[in-house]
């Protein structure tokens, strides 16, 4: 809605090694030249690159987030990373409940909620992902699935400062397919109404991102949809040119 500053966040997923950080220089210089972008810009690289990405984007308009965290502060959890560790590395946000984590690691709504609470505990913004599968959409269940995920995955106290909700229909991720603007509007309105019903005024300006095959070619149309306050971008966040092309939807 009017007055909400948009966020364009990139999720690199399991892509990227040290050399990939050169993209951040291109991104930062692209942002610094030309019209001002009326949006915040974030990249979420693999955890191995978070600290280096933070150093590389110092004094630029780009912030850095993580892609997942464990719910605990610390412990015997080999291979896991806590929200506090990501904060220590300089991240300002963490994606939680991405559909790839839900599908590949069996993450449940209560686990996603615990991760979002962990992000808050560490002083970070939780980017909480929800979205229906293709089968669920075909069965007419999209609204119910998303509503149930919101009910189960969001902590009891959220606000625009500590939480972002990303609607990512599973069937649109990496497929080149996108919902129609009308379908995006329907779900984003459901999400906004849900947040206001549960959190009152605190839910009014929580940013709602759309994610799933966002590209420069469709960004203007998707970002103009009611209650869409930015994008969560996968593949097109790996190249500065593509990511800048999406950010261009917020430059005038």
Q: Which of 70, 98, 120, 188 is catalytic?
A: 98
Kindly tell me which of 83 and 231 has the beta carbon lying closer to ligand 13P: 231
Binding of ligand 13P at residue 127 (CB under 6 A)?
Answer: no
Q: Is 1 helix (H, G, I), strand (E, B) or coil?
A: coil
State the sign of the Cα–Cα–Cα–Cα dihedral 212, 120, 194, 104: positive
Residue nearest ligand 13P by beta-carbon distance: 234
- Rounded distance between C-alpha atoms, residue 191 and residue 46, angstroms: 28
What lies within 8 Å, CB to CB, of 61 at 6+ separation is 28, 31, 32, 37, 40, 41
DSSP 8-state class, residue 249: G
* Closest among 7, 2, 38, 47 to 164, alpha carbons compared: 7
Binding of ligand 13P at residue 179 (CB under 6 A)?
Answer: no
Binding of ligand 13P at residue 211 (CB under 6 A)?
Answer: yes
Candidates 173, 223, 240, 249: give the one binding ligand 13P (CB under 6 A): 173
Report the number of secondary-structure helices (H) and strands (E) in the chain: 10, 8
Instruction: Using the rule CB under 6 A, give the single segment among 31-39, 132-140, 187-195, 206-214 that binds ligand 13P.
Output: 206-214
- Rounded to 10 degrees, what is the CA torsion of 144, 150, 153, 157? -150
Residue 188: active-site member: no
Candidates 68, 117, 136, 168: give the one binding ligand 13P (CB under 6 A): 168
- Rounded distance between C-alpha atoms, residue 70 and residue 204, angstroms: 28
Question: In the window 83-102, what residues touch ligand 13P (CB under 6 A)?
Answer: 98
Instruction: Using the rule CB under 6 A, give the single segment among 48-56, 143-151, 183-191, 227-235 that binds ligand 13P.
Output: 227-235
Site map 9..28 versus ligand 13P, x via CB under 6 A: --x-----------------
Binding of ligand 13P at residue 214 (CB under 6 A)?
Answer: yes
Question: In the window 62-81, what residues touch ligand 13P (CB under 6 A)?
Answer: none
Kindly tell me which of 84 and 168 has the beta carbon lying closer to ligand 13P: 168
- What is the CB neighbour count within 10 angstroms for residue 59? 6
- The residue assigned the tokens 């996968």 is 234
Residue 136: active-site member: no
Instruction: Using the rule CB under 6 A, give the single segment among 24-32, 85-93, 153-161, 228-236 that binds ligand 13P.
Output: 228-236
Q: Are 52 and 19 in contact (CB under 8 A)?
A: no
Active site residues: 98, 168
- Which residue ranges make up the site for ligand 13P (CB under 6 A)? 11, 98, 168, 173-174, 211-214, 232-236
């Amino acid at each position: 809605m009017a007055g909400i500053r948009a966020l364009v966040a990139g999720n690199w997923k399991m892509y990227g090694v040290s050399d990939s950080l050169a993209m951040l220089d291109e991104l930062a210089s692209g942002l610094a030249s030309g019209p001002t972008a009326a949006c915040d810009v974030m990249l979420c690289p693999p955890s191995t690159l978070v600290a280096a990405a933070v150093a590389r984007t110092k004094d630029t308009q780009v912030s850095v987030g993580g892609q997942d965290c464990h719910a605990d502060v610390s412990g015997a959890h080999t291979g896991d990373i806590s929200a506090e560790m990501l904060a220590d590395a300089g991240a300002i946000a963490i994606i939680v409940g991405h559909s790839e984590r839900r599908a590949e690691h069996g993450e449940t709504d209560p686990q996603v909620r615990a991760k979002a609470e962990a992000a808050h505990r560490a002083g970070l913004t939780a980017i909480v992902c929800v979205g229906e599968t293709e089968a669920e959409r075909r069965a007419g269940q999209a609204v119910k699935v998303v509503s149930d995920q919101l009910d189960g995955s969001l902590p009891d106290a959220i606000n625009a400062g500590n939480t972002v909700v990303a609607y990512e229909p599973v069937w649109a991720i990496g497929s080149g397919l996108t919902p129609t603007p009308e379908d995006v509007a329907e779900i984003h309105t459901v999400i906004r109404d849900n947040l206001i019903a549960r959190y009152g005024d605190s839910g009014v300006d929580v940013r709602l991102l759309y994610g799933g095959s966002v590209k420069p070619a469709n960004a203007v149309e998707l970002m103009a949809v009611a209650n869409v306050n930015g994008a969560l971008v996968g593949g097109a966040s790996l190249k500065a040119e593509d990511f800048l092309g999406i950010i261009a939807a917020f430059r005038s």
